[in-house]
Amino acid sequence: MKYPRVILFIFGLVLSFSVPAFANNLQITNVSLDERRMHSSTVLAVVKFDISWDSSWRNTTNYDAVWLVFKTCIGSCSQLYTHSLVYTDSIYGVKSSVGTNEDLEFAGGGTGVTGIFLQRSSSGTGTVSSKDVKVTIAPGATATQNIIVKVIGIEMVYIPQGPFYAGDGGSGTTGSLVKTTTTYDPWYIASEAAIRTTAVSTGSFFYRTGGSSGEFTTGSIFTIPAEFPKGYDAFYCMKYEVTEGQYADFINSLSTTYQTNRDITSGNGTTTGKGTDNVLKRNTMSISGGTATTSRTDRAMSWISWADLAAYFDWVGLRPMTELEYEKIARGDAAALIGEYAWGSSTSITAGVTFSGSPEDGNETFTTASANANYNVTTFSQGDDFLGTQYAQGPVRAGIFAAASSTRTTSGAGYYGPMELSGNVSERVVTIGNTTGTSFFAVNGDGTLNSLSGYEGNALQLGWPGTPDYGERGVDGSTGAGAGFKGGHYFVGASYLKISDRSQTASNDGFRSASGTSAYGGRGVRSLSPPTLPTCGNETIEPPEQCDTPQGQWPVTGCPDPMNDTCDPSTCVCVSFAI
């Protein structure tokens, strides 16, 4: 496998260098700043680069893409990398270009946007490449300052709009969503409209608990607001779980102050995590002197908390996925199958045991016949096992089960193409299982993290789970309420890997210190039409928690007094105000 690249280029100096970009098979090379122009007090710079990635596709159902964001550091670059907005429209005589491959297109562009998708414009499969791609950015520099640009590319998959089933139709899958307990038919999600759960004898949305502390009980009646992403609308999803290399590059773009709350190796009271620079459960991350390194860049990242994952998503312009979106990504629009895994079968599951060779160099596969998942505390042979016992169990590289001749079953792929949705490391999701989860507003990350003293490096998106009242802390490491897990991971049994298993979907574990955190990982998504947080005068309302008390039955515990509040209380919405 070719290692992908993130390129840094210093404009104005004859110097360029590169570090790994860590997205499976993605290469971004030959980065330069083609030109810069002044408009009033704004400097615009054109970033030019070559790009290629393997196993690309576009068909009548969906397609893959690369999400591109741009980080810049000005002058001597002794400080934090900052996010640069993207301009794909023609502006001030400068226009972005897809380069030499005219069969590509930009998507999600505009004037002053967070990032841009690059994808096929017509049907095709195989390797994609283009030279001299040009993207205009606003780096925040003067006309003469040196600019260091970091181009971040993440492989994504387009998930099309359409209805789907949530729940697998079986009584034996823990917490699987059903219409009623008489038929056990799954929920049918036919729009993004609000969902009101119903009693067992009526309606189409009966709630079964997964058994987590603080979760709604079986038969609870509550509302999933229209703003909560249910998976019906189109969105993009990361093709692979976040890798060690991607997380290391994230850390290396932060100042040492920002790194403190995101350092899994330090063992400090806020972050805990792995607590060592040594290899532990196959995680090779080391952070020393403000520099993060990893010897296995494409291995799925582990030991990360909800706050870590949220910060990474905010930094790259993505957001957390919901548990309903997870089921859409894995199952697609196919009929539900009782007990099915992400590859659409309820029986064809085999743990990878023996690697194809030693060491694991990014090209390794499993020689175990029919292997398509990493689960059940498998002890590996070959691979990196010669390096010691800490390499024997843990996450494997992203996309390891895919090959040129793979089927969906043998590669372990979800319906639309994302890999390792069942097993390896956990998929962190926003739950429908408690009011904190259903309060989620799916705004996308904006590339900028919290700068408040003591909370530097936190995601700062109001409406994301883990944001305390008033919101100034951002997504704090002290809570993971509203988030949970789907898809199982490397040290649990097969039942947890089922698409509709909800035994941990409302599990409230925001820390890295609890048992099992060596399997905490995840992947992000991006909304195409994100909602706008409601406002009250000049204040932003956070979180927008839907009440279950009908309009007119005030007061409601935790809600503002409608007689004294300046917001229009025409609907029953619990709010707190962010400063």
Sign of CA dihedral 395, 285, 28, 121: positive
Sign of CA dihedral 260, 266, 268, 274: positive
CB neighbourhood size of 293 (10 A) = 16
CB neighbourhood size of 119 (10 A) = 21
CA–CA gap between residue 340 and residue 450 (Å, rounded)? 40
Phi, psi at 342, each rounded to 5°:
-60, -25
Distances (CA, A) of 462 to 314, 483, 563, 569: 11, 15, 25, 21
What pLDDT, on a 0 to 100 scale, did the predictor assign at position 481? 82
**Quick one: DSSP state of residue 251?**
H
CA–CA gap between residue 426 and residue 15 (Å, rounded)? 40
**E strands, 404-561, in order:** 427-430, 483-486, 525-527, 535-536, 539-541, 545-546
**Quick one: DSSP state of residue 242?**
P
Domain edges within the chain = 5-158, 535-579
What pLDDT, on a 0 to 100 scale, did the predictor assign at position 571? 42
CA–CA gap between residue 318 and residue 530 (Å, rounded)? 11
CA–CA gap between residue 489 and residue 520 (Å, rounded)? 8
- Average pLDDT per block of 10 residues along the chain, 579 residues long: 41 31 74 82 90 96 97 82 86 79 92 94 96 94 87 98 96 92 92 94 89 92 96 98 97 93 76 85 95 97 92 98 99 98 97 96 94 95 95 96 89 97 97 94 95 93 83 78 93 96 85 62 96 62 42 38 40 37
What pLDDT, on a 0 to 100 scale, did the predictor assign at position 403? 84
Sign of CA dihedral 442, 444, 445, 450: negative
Contact (CB, 8 A) for 290 and 402:
no
**E strands, 499-568, in order:** 525-527, 535-536, 539-541, 545-546
CA–CA gap between residue 96 and residue 151 (Å, rounded)? 15
Q: What is the pTM of this model?
A: 0.90
307 SS3 class? helix
